[in-house]
Each structure stands twice: as C-alpha cells, then as structure tokens.
Amino acid sequence: MKSLLTLAALSVTFAAPAQAKRLSPDAQLADLLKGRVAGAPVQCIPTNVTNSQQIVTGRAIVWRVGSKLYVNVPRARAETLRDDDVLITQQWGSQLCRNDQVRTMNPMSRIPGGVLLLGDFVPYTKSAGG
C-alpha cells in the first residue's frame, strides 16, 4: 500500500510542471519578435521562398521568409486561430496577399474551421543590436 501512495505522489509531482501558466497571445508574439524591428506593412509576400509558418493562438499568423518574419493579423476571425491548427491556403499565384482567404483545420478532427481574411503583412527584421 505504501508503494502505491509513493507512486501516486510521484505522478502528481511530475504532472505539476505541465500545468504551468501559458503566455498570453500578445506575450507569445512579443517573445517571437524579440530583437526585431517592424518595417512598413506590405500587401503580399512570396510563398515560393517561405520557410515556415506559425500560428499564434487567437492573434496572428507568422510567416518566415529568409531571415524576415511577416506577421499577419487576419481582418476577421483572428480569435479562432489555434497554435495547433493546420493552415489551408488557396493561392492563384506565387504570392499570398491581403484579402486572401485562408481556412484552419484541426488536425485531430480534420474538421475545417471558418474562413479568415488576411490583413497586411508586417515585416520584422533583426535589429542592428540583436
């Protein structure tokens, strides 16, 4: 019986760190952009040279193009974004532009989310001191 109590105590001890408080979406985005400076917004980004994309829950989509990060806050439904969603884009060329529609999909259920309308893309480059 004593070994069962010890095992239960150990499982509680190891489970506690997983329940750590999560950063707010704004804090997550600030952490991602730390050491970078915003440039003038652009309406389109090339996707043929895009290295990756990342969703910041309830806030924005970030694309990496070379060493630049482009932050897009959708014009509608940004609050529905989840960092574990898959982004589904339908493009007609080699660029992703303002007002293009994208859709999210939960990878576990494979149920598509609503349509998001993209806003401007704000480029962030590393600062001279960073």
10-57 pLDDT, tens digit each: 333 334 344 446 788 889 999 999 999 999 999 999 988 777 899 999
Average pLDDT over residues 84-88: 87
Query: How is the chain split into domains, by residue range?
Result: 24-126
Helix (H) or strand (E) holding 88: strand 86-89
| Residue 71: band (very low, low, confident or very high) from pLDDT cuts 50, 70, 90 | very high
Average pLDDT over residues 89-109: 86
pTM: 0.77
Residues 6+ apart with CB under 8 A from 101: 90, 115, 116, 117, 118
pLDDT at position 73 is: 94
